[in-house]
C-alpha cells in the first residue's frame, strides 16, 4: 500500500466532515473519490495533504505516518496536488510556476536557498513538463493570462515537477467544457501508462468510471461504498446518496432524517 | 559672499541631498524585500532604521567601537530584533500585519524616548564620522560610501530575485496555500524576508547616524515608515527599479517643491491612497500592496 487511511476523522466543532474513513491505495492505482456535495471529499483530500490535522485516525504514506505533518513536508515526501479553485502563482510566468517545486531541496534549508538559483536544467525540465500538458506555447505568459482549463493544466505540470509518488487532483474537470474534459481524460490516461498513482475527486461519474481503477464513495463523511466503477454505479446505497430514495412512499418528514 | 564660499555651500548641499536620497533608496529597497518580493505589508520599517542608528551611535560613542565594526553590527542587531518581532507578528497577515508592525514602530520609538540610556528626549549626539587609515570622511567621501552601499544592496536585490529564496518569496506572495503544497515552508521564508529587510534598514540607520551625527527618537517615527512605504508603492513594489524610482522621485520632491515641504506627510499619504486606487502596481512594479482596507475602497466606489 502506498497510501493507507486508518479511521480518519476530521470534525469542525460539531460538524463531522470526515467521520472514520478507512481506505488504501496500491502503487500505480487510480482511486476515485466521489460523493454528493458536502460529502467530505475535499476535507478528506486536504487532510491527506496536511492542510488539516485529522481529529482521529492515522494516515500512512510509503510506510511513514504523515498525519499531523505540515503540508510543505507532505509535499516534500512526494504527494503533489492540484486545487479545485485555481491556485496558480498568478503574477509569475508559466515557466516560473513550474520552476517553483523544483527547489524542494533548498526549501528545507532556507539559508542555502539564498545562495542557489534555478539553472538551465530546471528550466529545461519545466519546458518538458509544460509541453506534456500542452502549454509549450504559453511558457512566457503570466499565469493569470491563462484560461481556466490552461490553469488546471499548469497546476498539473507544477505538481508533476515535484516528482510525486502520488498525484492528487481535486475536481480537475469542474467548470471545463466537454472538449476540455476529453483532453484532460487523455492526459490522465497518459500518466496512468507511466504507472503514476493518483487520487481523483470527481463529480462526473462518467469521467470517474473511465479513469479510475477503484472508486470510494463518501456521503456525510462516511464511506458508503467501495469497488470497481461498474459495481459502484449499480450500488443501491450510491444511487440513494446521489439521487435520493427511489419511490418515496414514507411520509416526507421521515425521509428528511 | 565670495564666490568660492557659495560654490562650496552649494556642493555641500548637493552632497547632503545625495546622501539623503541614498538613505531613502536603501530604506525603500529593504522594504521592497519584505513588502515587494514576499508581499508582507509593514508599517513599522522606520523602527528598524532607528534600531540600526541607535546601535551604531551607542557602539561608537559609549563603547568606543570603530564605525567599520558598528556598521555590520547594526545590521545584525536590527536583523535580530526583526527576527524576534517577525516570529511574533508574522502569524497574522495583510491588514493585521500592517497594524501590528505599526504598533511595533510606536513601541520602539517610546523605548528610545523614555529610557535614559538611549539619551531620552535629548537623543544621542557627537556621533563620529567614519575614518579609515587616518583619513577622516568628509561629505564627499561619505557620499561615496553611501553610494557604494546602495549599489551593493541593488546588486544583492537583483541576485536575491534570481535565487530559490526569491522564487519562494514570490510564490508565497501570490498564494500561500499553493506555496505550501509545493514544499515551501511559508512561515520560515516570511521570517527570512523580514530578517533581511529589517537588517538592511538597520544598516541604513547606521549610515544615517554617522551622517547626521545627532539622533533622537522622533527621527524614526511612524511618519518615516509611511514615507518609505509611499516611496516603494509609488515606484512600484517587487522590482529594484520601482524601489529606486520611488525613493528618488519622492525624496527629491520636497527639495524641488520647497513650498510643499510642510505638507509632505499629507502629500505622501494622499499619494499612497491615490496609487492604490488607480495604479496599484506603481510606476514600475509587478505587485500590489496587500492591505485590503485600501483595496476595498475602489470596490465600494464602483458599487
Q: Is the pLDDT score of B272 beyond 60?
A: yes
Question: Three-state DSSP class for A87?
Answer: coil
Rounded Cα–Cα distance for residues B119 and B58 (Å): 10
- Decide if B161 is inside a domain: yes
Q: What residues in chain A have their Cβ under 8 A from chain B's Cβ atoms?
A: 49, 51, 70-72, 75-76, 80-81, 83, 87-92, 96, 99-101, 103-104, 106-108, 110, 113-118, 158-159, 162
- Decide if B189 is inside a domain: yes
CA distances from B254 to A163, B212, B263 (A): 55, 18, 9
Please, what is the Cα angle at A238 between A198 and A40, to 5 degrees?
55
- Decide if B142 is inside a domain: yes
> Quick one: average pLDDT of B259-282?
82
- Decide if B249 is inside a domain: no
Rounded Cα–Cα distance for residues A62 and A117 (Å): 30
- Whether residue A91 and residue B180 make contact (CB cut-off 8 A), yes or no, is no
The length of chain A, given as a count of residues: 257
Phi, psi values for residue B8, rounded to 5°: -70, -40
- Decide if B45 is inside a domain: yes
Rounded Cα–Cα distance for residues A161 and A177 (Å): 26
Location of C-alpha cell 511612524 = B222
- Whether residue A107 and residue B168 make contact (CB cut-off 8 A), yes or no, is yes
The secondary structure of residue B226, as a DSSP letter, is: H
> Nearest residue on chain B to A116, judged by CA atoms?
B163
Q: Is the pLDDT score of B1 beyond 80?
A: no
> Nearest residue on chain A to B180, judged by CA atoms?
A72
- Whether residue B186 and residue A51 make contact (CB cut-off 8 A), yes or no, is no
> Quick one: average pLDDT of B140-151?
97
Model pLDDT for residues B69-94, shown as the tens digit of each residue: 999 999 999 999 999 999 988 888 88
Q: What is the model's pLDDT at position B54?
A: 97
> Nearest residue on chain B to A167, judged by CA atoms?
B181
A3-246: CATH topology: Rossmann fold (3.40.50)
**Cβ–Cβ pairs < 8 A, chains A and B:** 104
Which grid coordinates belong to A46? Answer: 486536504
Taking 70 as the pLDDT cut, the residues of chain A under it are 244-257
- Decide if B251 is inside a domain: no
Model pLDDT for residues A195-204, shown as the tens digit of each residue: 999 999 988 8
Q: Where are the domains of chain A?
A: 3-246
- B278–chain A Cβ distance below 8 A for any pair: no
What is the overall mean pLDDT for chain B?
90
Please state whether A242 falls in left (phi above 0), alpha (psi between -120 and 50) or beta.
alpha
What is the domain range of residue B162?
A: 22-226
Q: How far is CA A46 from the centre of its chain?
A: 9
> Nearest residue on chain B to A100, judged by CA atoms?
B167
Number of structural domains found in chain B: 1
> Quick one: average pLDDT of B128-140?
88
B180 vs A contacts (CB less than 8 Å): 51, 70-72, 75
Question: Three-state DSSP class for A226?
Answer: strand
Query: What is the ipTM metric for this complex?
Result: 0.90
**Element of type H or E holding A9:** strand A3-12
Among A70, A114, A158, beta carbon nearest to B182: A158
- Decide if B63 is inside a domain: yes
Among B165, B170, B286, beta carbon nearest to A113: B165
Q: Are B98 and B43 in contact (CB under 8 A)?
A: yes
> Quick one: average pLDDT of B107-128?
91
Q: What is the model's pLDDT at position B2?
A: 64
B-interface mutation test, from A72, A146, A162, most B Cβ less than 10 A away? A72
Q: Are B81 and B74 in contact (CB under 8 A)?
A: no
- Whether residue B183 and residue A114 make contact (CB cut-off 8 A), yes or no, is no
The predicted model scores a pTM of: 0.90
Amino acid at each position: 500500500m502506498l497510501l493507507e487511511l486508518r479511521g480518519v476523522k476530521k470534525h469542525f466543532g460539531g460538524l463531522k466532515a470526515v467521520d472514520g474513513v478507512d481506505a488504501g491505495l496500491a502503487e500505480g492505482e487510480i482511486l476515485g473519490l466521489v460523493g454528493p456535495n458536502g460529502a467530505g471529499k475535499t476535507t478528506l483530500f486536504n487532510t491527506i495533504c496536511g492542510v488539516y490535522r485529522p481529529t482521529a485516525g492515522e494516515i500512512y504514506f510509503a510506510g511513514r505516518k504523515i498525519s499531523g505533518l505540515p503540508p510543505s513536508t507532505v509535499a516534500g515526501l512526494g504527494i503533489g496536488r492540484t486545487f479545485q479553485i485555481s491556485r496558480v502563482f498568478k503574477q509569475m510566468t508559466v515557466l516560473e510556476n513550474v520552476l517553483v517545486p523544483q527547489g524542494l531541496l533548498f526549501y528545507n534549508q532556507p539559508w542555502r536557498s539564498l545562495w542557489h538559483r534555478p539553472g538551465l536544467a530546471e528550466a529545461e525540465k519545466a519546458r518538458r513538463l509544460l509541453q506534456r500538458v500542452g502549454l509549450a506555447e504559453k511558457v512566457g505568459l503570466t499565469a493569470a493570462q491563462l484560461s481556466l482549463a490552461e490553469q488546471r493544466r499548469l497546476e498539473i505540470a507544477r505538481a508533476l515537477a515535484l516528482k510525486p509518488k502520488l498525484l492528487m487532483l481535486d475536481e480537475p474537470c469542474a467548470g471545463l467544457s466537454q472538449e476540455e474534459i476529453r483532453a484532460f481524460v487523455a492526459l490522465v490516461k497518459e500518466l496512468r501508462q507511466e504507472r503514476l498513482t493518483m487520487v481523483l475527486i470527481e463529480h462526473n461519474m462518467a469521467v470517474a468510471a473511465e479513469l479510475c481503477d477503484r472508486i470510494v464513495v463518501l456521503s456525510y463523511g462516511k464511506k458508503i461504498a467501495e469497488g470497481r466503477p461498474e459495481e459502484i454505479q449499480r450500488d443501491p446505497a450510491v444511487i440513494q446518496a446521489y439521487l435520493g430514495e427511489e419511490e418515496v412512499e414514507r411520509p416526507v418528514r421521515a425521509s428528511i432524517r | 559672499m565670495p564666490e568660492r564660499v557659495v560654490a562650496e555651500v552649494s556642493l555641500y548641499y548637493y552632497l547632503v541631498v545625495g546622501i539623503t536620497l541614498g538613505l531613502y533608496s536603501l530604506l525603500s529597497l529593504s522594504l521592497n524585500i519584505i513588502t515587494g518580493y514576499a508581499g508582507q505589508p509593514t508599517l513599522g520599517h522606520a523602527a528598524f532604521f532607528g534600531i540600526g542608528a541607535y546601535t551604531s551611535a551607542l557602539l561608537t560613542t559609549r563603547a568606543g567601537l570603530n564605525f567599520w565594526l558598528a556598521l555590520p553590527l547594526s545590521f545584525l542587531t536590527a536583523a535580530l530584533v526583526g527576527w524576534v518581532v517577525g516570529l511574533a507578528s508574522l502569524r497574522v497577515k495583510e491588514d493585521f500585519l500592517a497594524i501590528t508592525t505599526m504598533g511595533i514602530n510606536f513601541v520602539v520609538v517610546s523605548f528610545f524616548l523614555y529610557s535614559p540610556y538611549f539619551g531620552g528626549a535629548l537623543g544621542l549626539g557627537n556621533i563620529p564620522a567614519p575614518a579609515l587609515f587616518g583619513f577622516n570622511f568628509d561629505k564627499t567621501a561619505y557620499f561615496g560610501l553611501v553610494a557604494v552601499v546602495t549599489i551593493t544592496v541593488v546588486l544583492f536585490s537583483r541576485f536575491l530575485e534570481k535565487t530559490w529564496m526569491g522564487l519562494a518569496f514570490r510564490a508565497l506572495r501570490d498564494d500561500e496555500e499553493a506555496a505550501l503544497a509545493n514544499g515551501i515552508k511559508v512561515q520560515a521564508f516570511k521570517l527570512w524576508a523580514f530578517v533581511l529587510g529589517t537588517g538592511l534598514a538597520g544598516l541604513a540607520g547606521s549610515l544615517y547616524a554617522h551622517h547626521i551625527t545627532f539622533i533622537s527618537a522622533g527621527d524614526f517615527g511612524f511618519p518615516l515608515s509611511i514615507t518609505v512605504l509611499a516611496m516603494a508603492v509609488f515606484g512600484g513594489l517587487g522590482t529594484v527599479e520601482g524601489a529606486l524610482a520611488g525613493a528618488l522621485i519622492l525624496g527629491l520632491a520636497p527639495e524641488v517643491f520647497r513650498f510643499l515641504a510642510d505638507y509632505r506627510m499629507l502629500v505622501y499619504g494622499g499619494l499612497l491612497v491615490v496609487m492604490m486606487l488607480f495604479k496599484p502596481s506603481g510606476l514600475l512594479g509587478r505587485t500590489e500592496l496587500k492591505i485590503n482596507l485600501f483595496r476595498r475602497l475602489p470596490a465600494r466606489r464602483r458599487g
